Amino acid sequence: MNVLHRLKSWFSFGKATPAYPFAALFKKFQNILKANNDALELIADMGAKLSGDYVFDRQYILSSSAELSDQVYRLIVDLNTLTSRKYLELFNRYERIHQSIEEELAGKWILPQGDAVIAYEAMGQGLHELVGNKNANLADVKNVLYLPTPDGFAITTSAFRIFLEQNGLYQMIQQRLQQYADEAELQEAQTPQSIESIAEEIQDAIRNGQIPESLQREIADAVRALQQSKRSSGLFFAVRSSAWGEDAEYSFAGQYQTLLNVASDRLLDAYRSVLASAYNPSALVYRSRKGFQQHEVAMAVGCQLMIEAVASGVLYTMDPSADERDVAVVSATWGLGAPLVEGMVAVDTYTIDRQPPFQLRSMHVVRKPTMLMLSPDGGTETRPVSPELENKGCLSSVQLQRLVEMGMLIERFFKRPQDIEWALDADGKFFILQTRPLKIRPDSGGPTLDIAEIAKRHPVRMQDRGIVVQRGVATGRVFLLEDPDDLEGVPHACILVTHHTSPRLARVMRRIHGIITDVGSQTGHMATIAREFRIPCVVNTGMATRIFKTGEEITLDATQNAVYEGRVEELLYYEFTEEDVFEETYEYRLLRRLLKRISPLNLVDPHESNFRPADCKTYHDIIRFVHEKAVEEIVDLENSRVGSSGQARELVMDIPLGLCVIDIGGGVRPQADEKRIGRRDIVSVPMNAFLDGLETSGMWDSEPVSVDFGSFMSSMTRTMSPALSDPRNAGRNLAVITDAYFNLSLKLGYHYNIIDAYVSDQVNDNTAYFRFLGGVTDMTRRSRRAGFIGEVLERFNFRVEIRGDLVIGRIKKCPRKIMEQKLWMLGSLVAYTRQLDVQMHEDADMEKHKQSFCQRILARLQEESQSNSLQPITHNP
């Protein structure tokens, strides 16, 4: 159904029904809360599938996307019913996102939007789709590992898209490729003739295409910037392909074109030529054999300044052919490396230990009569090698050590043995020209791995505890991290063992081999980051910090979820030889692309100007927007109908909370009074836990904090959402409860909390959501308080998001007792922070308050656990 049709049916539906009874509207509100939770669950679920721990198929992607689209659509309908159609624009937003998801699922050719030209040093991580793998890998080597690489820039797949669009080639290529695919299927064997002619037609069209002026300008700007930094006008480039899929699990080695020593005024031709090579016949066949869909083609190009190489070659960080795998192999020749890569010349070969100090094991030096050199006017030429160098090895053992050390750093980062092209310049400096995964074949005779055998030699230290967040195998020495703030001491290549997950670990992610934690969730921020870096990671083991000691050597197999004593090389190598890396499968790529349209949250703060339907870019944005507006609306509705019904009941408490309770299913004792109820009447599990924390933690400081004049003024000028600034709201707080659920909109002083929680014996349904916003003082102090709250929430294993003075914390799937503890803590936290921002004079106060709060809470929980009403907080399975 298209959007117009939907809107029409919507309007005609609306005309006949002017106003709904409150009960009906309330039902809608309930639906929204439920659909909101369901949709967020589904998103988290889809995200969790990227961990590699699950086997999922295309059907899963289709059905979960469809289900999510459905949920989101229903949310929009319900919100518009609730608000008398205030947010019809959401339908347009929905339609746009839905459409793009459908296109992805249908396998349409969607090239990324983004900069057309990006310099290597400006390339952030994760730009693989925009700059291609080869460029992205090289950028990581440069910007993350700080190893020398040539300067230069990438012309992105976005530029590729612009080029195709402006030349009208999009359609034409699609048609030809479809024709090719059809024919291939029809005849089962590909007829070389038809491939040749189709390839030729596409390539011609690209070579004769016009490069859009804007792109020409951007390329010229990038060249000019390099000319300025190099103080030279005569620059020469290596122009290399960097296509989707290239240099990932599939090397595409030799499939696409590389042009060497291209003068800057010849760059555009070289660019077109490399683009065209995306459609050469062998690349077409290669792609279809390797399971690439034809629509997954996009060519970015790397333009790197030529290195005047004295010697060049290739480093394999692991010898793919040797019986003994603990060596790296270096091949080398004089001059440029192209003849070596193409297998045109005899080369020196060295084998070197993979472990420090990287000793030379063997060398085989041959006669190298010729070498490829740069021609002064561009291009390359073959020249004779001088007689004294002809029979000499290209590299000294010291140079080899340096090279292999660089290689091992790269291997660790990319989690695979690497095939690295390098060049050595006249100053004796090594440059990494490109790096890609090296495929290691298992020993002949098939896999010989035997877990039972391994366990005999390497005792199992831990098995099947916790959740695998990122699979993979890591070996290293344990480093027990006691204070997640103190990351300075974390050594390179260790396996980090820590009590809880923290997104702050991102800082050391690059240098560690693996992570094991006592507590934590699969959907936390740290989990996301571990996946980004592909660090084998197991969280929530409940015991790791008690079992492991700093310095002991272990092997973490986060695929089987086991930890072995010592270094189990077989496991590591077995992982290296696995046929397919999960992350390189089509389904993984598809799900990841879909999630980009689903899960990022751009609408965070309802007070920001972008908090409106027109700025909803993802499903998550829509869900968030609907939830916010639904709660706002129901608070408004409640206020406008005070006294009109007995449904909302006042909760009488020792603390002046001004709280109204609406029971929508078993949250209040049946015998309770119809107008006023007391604490004893509440039977809602999460509500009681929260109120207990609020009342009994001793955190509610009844002494009013003196508000200085500046704070007072700033409170007068704060803009509140309409529902909150309504004077009738003063002292009116709302809780919607059932036996296992509560949604509390709480305005205390000048700040605003939402706590939404479901707690029952069904562990998987349990969730708690905490949102905190506002405050009486200036932004700096409010941000300090937000920082404090964020840290506390993190300390209690919530997943935390902070923007300005807005804090969101989430936790889920803990057993009931633990959830009750968390809510108890939230109650205390709300009480503690009630007027705290007034006291936040300096940054150090944040830490002071965190210490004092956490100490008091932990002590209380300890006491409580001894009296058996709550379990100790560290006992989090």
Partner 1 sequence: METERKFQILILDDEPIVCKRLKPALEKAGYEAETFTQSAMALHRITEKEFDVVITDLKMEGLDGMAFLTEVKKRYPKTEVIVITGFATMDTARQSYQKGVFDFVAKPFKLKEILDVVEKAIAKRTATEKGNVP
Rounded least distance, CB 418 to partner 1, Å: 21
The one among 174, 370, 397, 585 contacting partner 1 by CB under 8 A: 585
Asked if residue 336 lies in contact with residue 260, where contact means CB atoms within 8 angstroms, the answer is yes
Is 213 one of the binding residues for partner 1 (CB under 8 A)?
A: no
The one among 317, 559, 684, 876 contacting partner 1 by CB under 8 A: 559
Helix 619-640 × helix 22-48 angle, to 10°? 160
Q: Which is nearer to partner 1, 19 or 452 (CB)?
A: 452
Rounded least distance, CB 577 to partner 1, Å: 9
Residues 6+ apart with CB under 8 A from 376: none
Q: Which is nearer to partner 1, 189 or 452 (CB)?
A: 452
The one among 87, 358, 582, 741 contacting partner 1 by CB under 8 A: 582
CA distance 624 to 613: 10
Q: Which is nearer to partner 1, 127 or 468 (CB)?
A: 468
Residues 6+ apart with CB under 8 A from 477: 491, 493, 494, 495, 550, 551, 552, 553, 554
Single out the segment in contact with partner 1 by CB under 8 A; choices: 83-91, 188-196, 451-459, 775-783.
451-459
Q: Which is nearer to partner 1, 4 or 62 (CB)?
A: 62
Q: Which is nearer to partner 1, 589 or 795 (CB)?
A: 589
The one among 106, 426, 452, 716 contacting partner 1 by CB under 8 A: 452
Rounded least distance, CB 60 to partner 1, Å: 5
Q: What are phi and psi of 364, to 5 degrees?
A: -135, 105
Single out the segment in contact with partner 1 by CB under 8 A; choices: 190-198, 582-590, 679-687, 800-808.
582-590
First vs last Cα of the chain: how many Å apart? 47
Is 63 one of the binding residues for partner 1 (CB under 8 A)?
A: yes
Single out the segment in contact with partner 1 by CB under 8 A; choices: 22-30, 575-583, 664-672, 798-806.
575-583
Is 569 one of the binding residues for partner 1 (CB under 8 A)?
A: no
Strand order in the sheet with 494-498: 460-463, 562-565, 553-557, 473-481, 494-498, 514-517, 537-539, 467-470
- Sites for partner 1 among residues 409-448 (CB under 8 A): 446-447
Rounded least distance, CB 555 to partner 1, Å: 14
User: Shortest CA distance to 823 belongs to which of 786, 868, 776, 873?
Assistant: 873
State the amino acid at position 275 in one-letter form: L
CA distance 729 to 639: 7
Q: Which is nearer to partner 1, 468 or 808 (CB)?
A: 468
The one among 413, 533, 573, 574 contacting partner 1 by CB under 8 A: 574
Rounded least distance, CB 761 to partner 1, Å: 22
Helix, strand or coil for residue 232? coil
Q: Which is nearer to partner 1, 67 or 269 (CB)?
A: 67
Is 449 one of the binding residues for partner 1 (CB under 8 A)?
A: yes
Q: Which is nearer to partner 1, 38 or 584 (CB)?
A: 584
The one among 196, 443, 453, 863 contacting partner 1 by CB under 8 A: 453
Rounded least distance, CB 570 to partner 1, Å: 11
User: Shortest CA distance to 750 belongs to which of 722, 771, 731?
Assistant: 731
Neighbours of 617 (CB within 10 A): 17
Rounded least distance, CB 707 to partner 1, Å: 54
- Sites for partner 1 among residues 457-486 (CB under 8 A): 464
Is 561 one of the binding residues for partner 1 (CB under 8 A)?
A: yes
Q: Tell me how far CA of residue 701 lies from CA of 247, 655, 733, in angstroms.
A: 61, 10, 19
User: Which DSSP letter does residue 245 get?
Assistant: T
Is 586 one of the binding residues for partner 1 (CB under 8 A)?
A: yes
Q: Tell me how far CA of residue 749 lies from CA of 24, 27, 395, 705, 798, in angstroms.
A: 32, 30, 72, 11, 25
CA distance 639 to 652: 18
Q: Is the dihedral of CA 74, 80, 86, 91 positive or negative?
A: positive
Rounded least distance, CB 581 to partner 1, Å: 11
Angle at 278 between CA 128 and CA 288, to 5 degrees: 90
Residues that contact partner 1, how many (by CB under 8 A): 30
Length of the chain in terms of residues written:
877
Tokens matching residue 93: 């937003």
Single out the segment in contact with partner 1 by CB under 8 A; choices: 190-198, 242-250, 583-591, 704-712.
583-591
Is 842 one of the binding residues for partner 1 (CB under 8 A)?
A: no
Rounded least distance, CB 580 to partner 1, Å: 5
Neighbours of 11 (CB within 10 A): 11
Rounded least distance, CB 88 to partner 1, Å: 35
How far out from the chain centre does Cα 47 lie? 9
CA distance 160 to 107: 19
The one among 380, 382, 560, 602 contacting partner 1 by CB under 8 A: 560
Is 59 one of the binding residues for partner 1 (CB under 8 A)?
A: yes
Residues 6+ apart with CB under 8 A from 431: 148, 149, 150, 307, 422, 423, 424, 425
CA distance 502 to 520: 9
Single out the segment in contact with partner 1 by CB under 8 A; choices: 293-301, 391-399, 559-567, 827-835.
559-567
Is 455 one of the binding residues for partner 1 (CB under 8 A)?
A: no
Rounded least distance, CB 442 to partner 1, Å: 10
Is 326 one of the binding residues for partner 1 (CB under 8 A)?
A: no
The one among 103, 196, 450, 701 contacting partner 1 by CB under 8 A: 450
Q: Which is nearer to partner 1, 356 or 447 (CB)?
A: 447
Rounded least distance, CB 562 to partner 1, Å: 11
Q: Which is nearer to partner 1, 577 or 865 (CB)?
A: 577
Residue carrying structure tokens 């924390």: 693
Asked if residue 508 lies in contact with residue 489, where contact means CB atoms within 8 angstroms, the answer is no
Asked if residue 711 lies in contact with residue 776, where contact means CB atoms within 8 angstroms, the answer is yes
Q: Which is nearer to partner 1, 38 or 605 (CB)?
A: 38
Single out the segment in contact with partner 1 by CB under 8 A; choices: 167-175, 364-372, 556-564, 606-614.
556-564
- Sites for partner 1 among residues 279-308 (CB under 8 A): 291
Rounded least distance, CB 286 to partner 1, Å: 18
Q: Which is nearer to partner 1, 449 or 601 (CB)?
A: 449
Rounded least distance, CB 41 to partner 1, Å: 15
Q: What are phi and psi of 209, to 5 degrees?
A: -70, 155
Q: Which is nearer to partner 1, 59 or 717 (CB)?
A: 59
CA distance 367 to 393: 9
- Sites for partner 1 among residues 39-58 (CB under 8 A): 49, 53-58
Rounded least distance, CB 572 to partner 1, Å: 13
The one among 70, 182, 201, 580 contacting partner 1 by CB under 8 A: 580
Q: Which is nearer to partner 1, 501 or 559 (CB)?
A: 559
SS (H, E, C) 513-569: CEEEECCCCCCCHHHHHHHHHCCCEEECCCCHHHHCCCCCEEEEECCCCEEEECCCH
CA distance 771 to 778: 19
User: Shortest CA distance to 423 belongs to which of 264, 285, 238?
Assistant: 238
Is 716 one of the binding residues for partner 1 (CB under 8 A)?
A: no
Binding site for partner 1 (CB under 8 A): 49, 53-60, 63, 291, 446-447, 449-453, 464, 559-561, 574, 578-580, 582, 585-587
